[in-house]
């Protein structure tokens, strides 16, 4: 198949066929309880029906978004020899550069055409979970580029704080105390990935993708994207295109919120098809502390939800999925360097299949 061709299983409904939910968050920042409740209700509606939503009025400055695109481009355009000095395989808490051939255990049968710079919530080097290794917790590493750390840290803090607001609103919507959720956030495993999807001459097929279909493993993800290619599975299990809207973040629900809500919120399956064009994007996965035990919240506990969602540690869920996602981790496990004290399933238990391969 030539470049630009899209196989049927990679097709999706376009924005002409499906309405994209857009939620204005301004009421979370200004206004009283009523404004907040109205935003929370809109978020709940979107989380239940679409599983994702665009956000305006989020308070993150457009200049900061632009600065992130510039910072990511500056890093990714450096020679490979520079980038590999910061290879994530040099760390045990997954920080730094992830080259595209690290993606997935099926490479090169399946190619995920992306590379990334990965960072997360900064924790001290004497944190017990950093010393214990392979717990996604600890200090970040930074490339030797003037001003880069400052830009990325400023963006991280801004979007992380937006995440706290969203968590608060979603707690209100579910009718639970915010503290019931935030008690699990001290040094969370909340990664920010600075992704570059690579220009290439390959078609879009199920084995040649930007990133394979998956759900995110945390509470929710706040995504800034710079080009088309993202597809999201809606509540009817149909793929729809989710192109960028300038200045908006896309938020999708992750595995933890599905568990907490006993399945009322669905963890959103999504993928990026191979457009063959360079594309920058920035997902921030809003997570919990490594040891946080995740299970349906008290008010959503029924015999069915308890059976469907057995307790899991937030960090172990992230690690078991990461072992399948990054080759250096799979190799560390095979070599006995990474010894999981949890089960590593072949597939994410939160995976859902599309009803139809394409529209």
Q: Which CB, 205 or 215, lies closer to Fe ion?
A: 215
Q: Which CB, 254 or 296, lies closer to Fe ion?
A: 254
Q: Residue 295 — φ and ψ, nearest 5°?
A: -155, 170
Q: Which CB, 173 or 216, lies closer to Fe ion?
A: 216
Shortest Å distance, C-beta 321 to Fe ion: 11
Q: Rounded to whole angstroms, what are the CA distances from 301 to 89, 176, 260, 314? A: 40, 13, 9, 18
Gap between the Cα atoms of 330 and 323, Å rounded: 5
What would the x/- binding string for Fe ion be over residues 293 to 312, using CB under 5 A?
--------------------
Q: Which stretch binds Fe ion (CB under 5 A): 55-63, 69-77, 215-223, 327-335?
A: 215-223
Shortest Å distance, C-beta 180 to Fe ion: 26
Q: Which CB, 29 or 100, lies closer to Fe ion?
A: 100
Shortest Å distance, C-beta 270 to Fe ion: 6
Find the residue with minimal CB distance to Fe ion.
Answer: 216
Q: Which stretch binds Fe ion (CB under 5 A): 123-131, 153-161, 210-218, 296-304?
A: 210-218
Shortest Å distance, C-beta 17 to Fe ion: 23
Q: Which CB, 118 or 216, lies closer to Fe ion?
A: 216
Write the CB contacts of 104 (distance below 8 Å, at least 6 apart in sequence). 110, 112, 212, 324, 325, 327
Q: Which residue, 287, 114, 116, is CA-closest to 186?
A: 287
Is residue 216 at the binding interface for Fe ion, with CB under 5 A as the rule? yes
Sole residue written with tokens 């992306």? 114
Shortest Å distance, C-beta 268 to Fe ion: 9
Q: Which stretch binds Fe ion (CB under 5 A): 3-11, 49-57, 65-73, 209-217?
A: 209-217
Q: Which CB, 215 or 261, lies closer to Fe ion?
A: 215
Buried b (16+ CB within 10 A) or exposed e, 255-268: bbbbbbbbebbbbb
57 within 8 A of 248, measured Cβ to Cβ: no
Write the CB contacts of 350 (distance below 8 Å, at least 6 apart in sequence). 215, 255, 258, 267
Is residue 118 at the binding interface for Fe ion, with CB under 5 A as the rule? no
Is residue 241 at the binding interface for Fe ion, with CB under 5 A as the rule? no
Q: Which CB, 288 or 297, lies closer to Fe ion?
A: 288
Interface contacts to Fe ion, rule CB under 5 A: 216
């Amino acid at each position: 198949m030539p470049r630009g061709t899209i196989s049927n299983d990679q097709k999706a409904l376009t924005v002409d066929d499906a309405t994209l939910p857009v939620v204005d968050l301004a009421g979370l920042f200004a206004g009283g309880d009523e404004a907040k409740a109205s935003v929370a209700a809109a978020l709940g509606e979107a989380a239940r029906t679409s599983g994702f939503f665009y956000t305006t009025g989020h308070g993150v400055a457009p200049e900061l978004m632009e600065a992130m695109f510039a910072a990511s481009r500056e890093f990714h355009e450096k020679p490979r020899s520079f980038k590999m000095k910061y290879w994530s395989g040099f760390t045990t808490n997954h920080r730094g550069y992830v080259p595209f051939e690290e993606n997935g255990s099926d490479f090169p049968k399946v190619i995920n055409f992306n590379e990334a710079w990965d960072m997360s919530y900064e924790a001290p080097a004497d944190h017990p979970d950093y010393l214990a290794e392979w717990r996604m917790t600890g200090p970040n590493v930074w490339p030797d580029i003037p001003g880069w750390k400052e830009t990325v840290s400023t963006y991280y803090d801004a979007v992380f704080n937006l995440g706290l607001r969203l968590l608060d609103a979603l707690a209100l919507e579910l009718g639970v105390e915010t503290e019931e959720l935030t008690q699990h956030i001290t040094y969370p495993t909340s990664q920010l990935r600075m992704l570059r999807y690579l220009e290439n001459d390959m078609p879009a097929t199920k084995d040649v993708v930007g990133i394979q279909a998956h759900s995110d493993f945390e509470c929710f993800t706040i995504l800034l994207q710079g080009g088309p290619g993202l597809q999201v599975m809606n509540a009817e299990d149909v793929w729809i295109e989710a192109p960028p809207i300038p200045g908006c973040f896309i938020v999708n629900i992750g595995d933890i919120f599905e568990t907490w809500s006993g399945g009322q919120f669905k963890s959103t399956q999504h993928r990026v098809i191979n457009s063959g064009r360079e594309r920058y994007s920035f997902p921030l996965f809003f997570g919990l502390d490594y040891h946080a035990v995740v299970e349906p919240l008290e008010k959503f506990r029924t015999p069915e939800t308890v059976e469907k969602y057995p307790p899991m540690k937030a960090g172990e869920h992230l690690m078991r999925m990461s072992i399948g996602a990054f080759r250096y981790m799979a190799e560390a496990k095979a070599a006995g360097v990474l010894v999981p004290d949890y089960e590593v399933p072949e597939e994410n238990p939160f995976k859902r299949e599309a009803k139809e391969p394409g529209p």
